[in-house]
Amino acid sequence: MALHAVEFPPATHDFQTFLGQAEPNMQVVLHGYIGQRADLSKKLSFVRLTDPTMKYSIQVVAFGKNDATEKLKSLNAHSPVAVRGKVQKKKGKNTDAGDKPAEEKWELALEDVHPLNDFPKDIIMTPETVFAPEHRYLQLRSDAELRDALQFRAEVRNECKKELENCQPPFVEIETPLLFKSTPEGAREFLVPTRRAGLAYALPQSPQQYKQILMASGIPRYFQFARCFRDEDLRADRQPEFTQLDLEMSFATGEDVMRTIEGVVRRLWANLMQDPAPEGPFRRRSYQEVMAKYGSDKPDTRYGMELMRLDHLLPADLVMKISPLENPIVEAFKLESQNNDPAATLKFIGQFLDSPAGAPFNNNPDGGPGVFVYNGKQPLCGLQPFGFEAAEQIEELLEPDHGDLIIIQARPRAPFAGGATPVGDLRRALHGHAVSAGFSPSPTGFDFMWVVDFPLFSPSSDSEPGQGGAAGFSSTHHPFTAPKTAADVDMLLADPTKVVADHYDLVVNGVELGGGSRRIHDAAVQEFILRDILQMKPERLVDFEHLLDALRAGCPPHAGLALGFDRLVAVLLGKESVRDVIAFPKTGKGGDDAMVRAPSPMTEEALETYHLRLRK
């Protein structure tokens, strides 16, 4: 049986301490990974020893024919070792220069090397190697940026924590259970069967109910880095488990929460980023406004391309050409050309629409995008299809320059619902494509914004279970969100779909960093919304009894928020995917952990333990 390092010499120093204290003839034992060996002669070899943090390294010199040299020569690069040696000044030019880093000033004359494990010869590992997800450990080991991201993530966490704990009164970090109960809050929950036949816990989609109960429990301010779970189809960048910075304040409104979060953001940007966040409170925009202006409830506002309503201007025959809809709303936006070259613009938009990214827009059942390139050399500058009068007004509205792209898009005449309109998605996709194709400059900086005044309810969707009520609509966020004003409360009976929620989303650069709301703290109102507005069945209503009881026991008003922590770290680091800031992300479409191969088959024995059987 091959055997390594049951006993091995302890390091006399960590590298950082060693490099600060090194002097000639010092005897040291250092731990680390050896690099590629260079054999200068039969009697002289060099190898770099990198420390366990992989932040420092030092040159090791093996001279002469001896056991230590032989052992060193038997080791593969990247193998962990303990090296015993004597410190000496590094030879060569400029090694005496005072500004030389300590790593370049000193070297170690090898006296002994203790192999601690073998790095296999058949694994090729360079800083550039991209490993398959099942070899995440190799990716982490070879990719300093990924390891640094995990360390940065810990720093982000600490900064958030410090800000919240320095508030007056301070937020207190409190853990809430993960073995919770299935309640119809909105998302699909993972179940955890128990050994009592038919009974299961559910993993929480957020600590929402527990934190509200904390507010009813005399805890004035709570926060937690909470693991949350949603059993949803893995979209581009969602994980079935994720971390949120979750907080709640009693005797508070959304104003208090937004102020608190602005403090957190400001601290993060001040302490961890190159430039601080902009001064003053973040601006606020209503859901209706951002949907009209950007076709998205989390718009990137840094690159213009604002939407304009054109339907009142357009000739009927043009509308018929771009959409099968009766009396649609038509919106337009402009994408500026950098070099005022209509041909290049045409080529760019053609490429986009022919690409897979363009397909969903071409296939929009409400009609594809209408494409125009503003061209001073053409009749009506290329806006001829609009007719003279409309073309003039469009010029006034969009102020296009030679070579600019104008897109028009129809949609049904209906109130905004959901997170984006197709033209909003088109705006985003087209801009992303323009940046990567070099057609548009990459936007810079961070543009923070609160999106507020969401509708309290939205039409039920097939993909989200919602609250399972019979009303035909569901809570836009969750059923605990308070109506915004007394007038909104009155509107509950008259027309629930018109009720505005006291909900706020923090948006930066097209990313929703988090969202929160003032909560309903009046048991009667909460019960009324669940029972009479959402028309939840009595057997599901009873699942919320604990919350109603807690509210009834004199619960103070309260409000809170959750920041998507994975996403926040990704934004701070400028990463596209949260996978780059999670040690072991799920990677597959089905939420697979490719490395450990989870999920895995349930054994018959396990099924029996939980009184379960597979359906055929």
Interaction residues for its own copies, span 210-249 (CB under 8 A)? 210, 213-214, 216-220, 227, 229, 231, 240-241, 243
Contact between 586 and its own copies per CB under 8 A: yes
- Spatial CB neighbours of 596, under 8 Å, sequence gap ≥ 6: 584
Contact pick of 39, 44, 64, 137 for its own copies (by CB under 8 A): 137
Span 404-463, contacts to its own copies by CB under 8 A: none
User: Near its own copies by CB under 8 A, which window of 111-119, 311-319, 374-382, 394-402?
Assistant: 111-119
Distances (CA, A) of 304 to 308, 333, 448, 505: 12, 9, 15, 20
Contact 51, 31 (CB under 8 A): yes
User: Near its own copies by CB under 8 A, which window of 1-9, 266-274, 343-351, 352-360?
Assistant: 1-9
Q: Report the candidate in 494, 469, 472 with the shortest Cα–Cα distance to residue 483.
A: 494
Span 479-518, contacts to its own copies by CB under 8 A: 482-486, 488-489
User: What are 451's strand-pairing partners?
Assistant: 285, 505
Span 47-66, contacts to its own copies by CB under 8 A: 52-54
Contact between 269 and its own copies per CB under 8 A: no
Q: Report the candidate in 562, 559, 564, 563 with the shortest Cα–Cα distance to residue 255.
A: 559
CA atoms within 13 A on the CB side of 232: 20
State the nearest-atom distance from the C-beta of 289 to its own copies, in Å: 23
Contact pick of 433, 521, 567, 579 for its own copies (by CB under 8 A): 521
Contact pick of 74, 117, 327, 362 for its own copies (by CB under 8 A): 117
State the nearest-atom distance from the C-beta of 280 to its own copies, in Å: 19
Q: Whose Cβ is closer to its own copies: residue 347's or residue 611's?
A: 611
Contact between 20 and its own copies per CB under 8 A: no
Q: Whose Cβ is closer to its own copies: residue 135's or residue 266's?
A: 135
Rounded CA separation 539/15 (Å): 63
Contact pick of 525, 531, 573, 587 for its own copies (by CB under 8 A): 525
Contact pick of 92, 120, 127, 356 for its own copies (by CB under 8 A): 120
Contact pick of 71, 188, 402, 575 for its own copies (by CB under 8 A): 188
Contact between 596 and its own copies per CB under 8 A: yes
Contact between 145 and its own copies per CB under 8 A: no
Contact pick of 64, 445, 472, 556 for its own copies (by CB under 8 A): 556
One-letter amino acid at 547 equals L
Q: Whose Cβ is closer to its own copies: residue 209's or residue 345's?
A: 209
- Spatial CB neighbours of 191, under 8 Å, sequence gap ≥ 6: 182, 200, 201, 202, 203
User: Near its own copies by CB under 8 A, which window of 3-11, 276-284, 354-362, 408-416?
Assistant: 3-11
Strand blocks (E) in 215-274: 221-229, 241-250
Q: Whose Cβ is closer to its own copies: residue 39's or residue 549's?
A: 549
CA atoms within 13 A on the CB side of 346: 9
Residue 337 DSSP SS3: coil
Contact 558, 251 (CB under 8 A): yes
Check the CA dihedral 585-590-592-594 and report its sign: negative
Q: Report the candidate in 185, 162, 187 with the shortest Cα–Cα distance to residue 173.
A: 162
Contact between 154 and its own copies per CB under 8 A: yes
